[in-house]
Chains A and B, each alone.
Chain A
Amino acid sequence: EAGVAQSPRYKIIEKRQSVAFWCNPISGHATLYWYQQILGQGPKLLIQFQNNGVVDDSQLPKDRFSAERLKGVDSTLKIQPAKLEDSAVYLCASSYRGRPQVAFFGQGTRLTVV
């Protein structure tokens, strides 16, 4: 079974630039999650999708972050404009039935904002 795929693995941008991350979940997984993991901290949920609908985006900084999952499969997370404090690893995860406890995680995208 193929795992959760994320790209790119690494990204370095200057502050105020924009950036986008891509995630391809495990086939058949209806629920998709984006987490932000700042160095020295645990992952924090940014947004959860069920198919192409948003279930939880209460911790997403909506003034600069956006995410979409148009066809209920792949997803993109965008930051515009980026700030220094957005430097983190962005993790994508998917699960079969909306249970984050049994989600499968991708390797993440490490973003550095300089």
Chain B
Amino acid sequence: GNSVTQMEGPVTLSEEAFLTINCTYTATGYPSLFWYVQYPGEGLQLLLKATKADDKGSNKGFEATYRKETTSFHLEKGSVQVSDSAVYFCALSVTSGSRLTFGEGTQLTVNP
């Protein structure tokens, strides 16, 4: 079956530090990959996506590259801010209308 594995968290960083949150997946076929973010007290929001191998998704300074050879979609940001503190979820879907499969989430805390 399809599955997503995220790095064991939580992650605590100082402001302006470099961020990497690892995500690997197992799927039949060629899935689309996503990162969602959940800020405190808010609903899940789509952060970025990539639909085919070697695509790079980016938004709000975050980036992730679809690596088919390593079945990975790691989230990176060059300089985190306190406002980036949130829970980040990696997810996949096998076809456009199919259900999302989420990873377990990674809690990021950025200290000033």
Contacts and interface: CB of A to CB of B under 8 A. Distances in A.
B76 interface: no
Contacts of B41: 107
Given A100-B100, A101-B100, A107 B105 contact: no
Contacts of A98: 97
A56 interface: yes
Contact of A101 (B34, B43, B89, B105): B34
Interface stretch (B11-19, B44-52, B66-74): B44-52
A106 B46 CA distance: 13
Interface size bracket, A side: 20 to 34
Give the residue among A40, A42, A48, A108 with the most B Cβ atoms within 10 A.
Answer: A42
B43 A91 contact: yes
A44 B2 CA distance: 12
Nearest to B91: A42
A101 B93 contact: yes
A101 B46 contact: yes
Interface of B: 4, 32, 34, 41-46, 49, 89, 91, 93, 96-105
